Amino acid sequence: MRKNYPYFLLAGIIPLCAVCACSTGEAAAVTAAASQILGSRSQAPVFLACKAVSGTEIEFQFSQPVKVVSVNFSPPLEVEELDEGEIVRVRVAEGLVPGSKLTADLLAMDKNGNTINVLVPLRTRNERIPALLINELRTEYSKPKAEFIEFKMLEAGNLAAVRVFIAGNNKAPLVYEFSSLEVTAGEYILLHLRTTQDANCDEYGSSKDESGGSEAVAGVRDLWIPGNAKLLRKTDAVYVLDQDDNVIDAVMLADSQDSSWNKDYLTAAAEFLHEKGAWKSADEEIPAPKDAVNSSGGTATRSISRDETVPDSDTAADWYVTATSGNTPGKPNNPKRL
């Protein structure tokens, strides 16, 4: 059923839930949204998911058909149309800023009069996510040399809502989510995995030289994860997901050639990346440590780097450990190898 809503629906909303994700990224944030069943009849509707499906459309999925009693957004949006049923599709009047944060407050009712209230945070749809590569990593910390992940943009676009996961940080593998950031082909983005000085700041504006402190790179966008926790290890998996949990790029690391992973969350990450076709093994089976990049030689001055002269094969063959002082954050990789 379609309804027209040619007016503003306003709400001052206090979010009741936090975004979460599992180590593989398949547990969408919206499935953890808080929902409250109002009514006493059996088989009340269950809220399943919510996501932006286009620049002007947001979908709410339920276990059974529902009618919308009210829908509000913070910041406020002008709602033009609603399609009701198991999937409630909300169309807004104007295109949304890609990857911006919203909170949705929807009250729905089933045919038996059971009502359900959903209060959920989400990101608007970013339809311009660029192709990119994880290009260089430092796994070791030696103050002030912090761990980092360097990304190389393969095309122009916007990084809004792109998510970075580190499997070894198993209690919170989602370590970073990009805000709106226009990028160009060939550009390097440097994500520092801990913040060691007050002078560090995220360079989301027009200047690439705002961030001070140790290892901020002039002319390159420096972004910083707050805190001083250890996030990346020599045996680990790093992967980047879009809003549909597609893997944009990934790399697996191991400092041994063991036949199996010694942690369940690493096994889960290997299975996930194998299923997505994002990391490959010689025998086409689920990748084991022997199929990962050999990171044993990595130090605070020896980064794990991609060979930029060869096509991306999603295997360890693309990677090497640099020679001492071979780190090149924000710059083309140094061909000197360990």
The structural domains of the chain, with segments of one domain joined by +, span 2-123, 132-321
Residue 193 vs residues 51, 137, 219, 221, 337: alpha-carbon distances, Å: 28, 10, 19, 14, 24
Class of the domain covering 132-321: mainly beta
- 266, containing H or E segment: helix 264-275
Q: Tell the residue number behind the tokens 């796994």, with chain if given.
A: 139
Given this chain, do its domains 2-123 and 132-321 carry the same CATH topology? yes
| Domain 2-123 grouped into CATH 2.60.40.1220 | yes
Tokens read off for 132: 């990119």
Give the whole-angstrom CA distance, residue 222 versus residue 104.
32
Give the whole-angstrom CA distance, residue 71 versus residue 163.
28
Residue 283 vs residues 257, 272, 280, 288, 318: alpha-carbon distances, Å: 15, 17, 9, 10, 17
Residue 55 vs residues 74, 154, 245, 270, 287: alpha-carbon distances, Å: 17, 23, 18, 33, 37
The pLDDT tens digits along the chain (338 residues) read 544 433 223 222 223 333 333 334 444 443 434 445 555 456 889 999 999 999 899 999 999 999 999 999 999 999 999 999 999 999 998 878 889 899 999 999 999 999 999 999 999 999 999 999 999 999 999 988 999 999 999 999 999 999 999 999 999 999 999 999 999 999 999 999 998 777 778 899 888 988 887 789 999 999 999 999 999 999 999 999 999 999 999 999 999 988 899 999 999 999 999 999 999 999 999 999 999 999 999 999 999 999 999 999 999 999 999 999 999 999 999 888 87
Tell me which residue of 177, 119, 187, 176 sits closest to 153, measured CA to CA: 187
- Residue-wise DSSP of 143-179: TTB--EEEEEESS-EE-TT-EEEETTSTTS-EEEE--
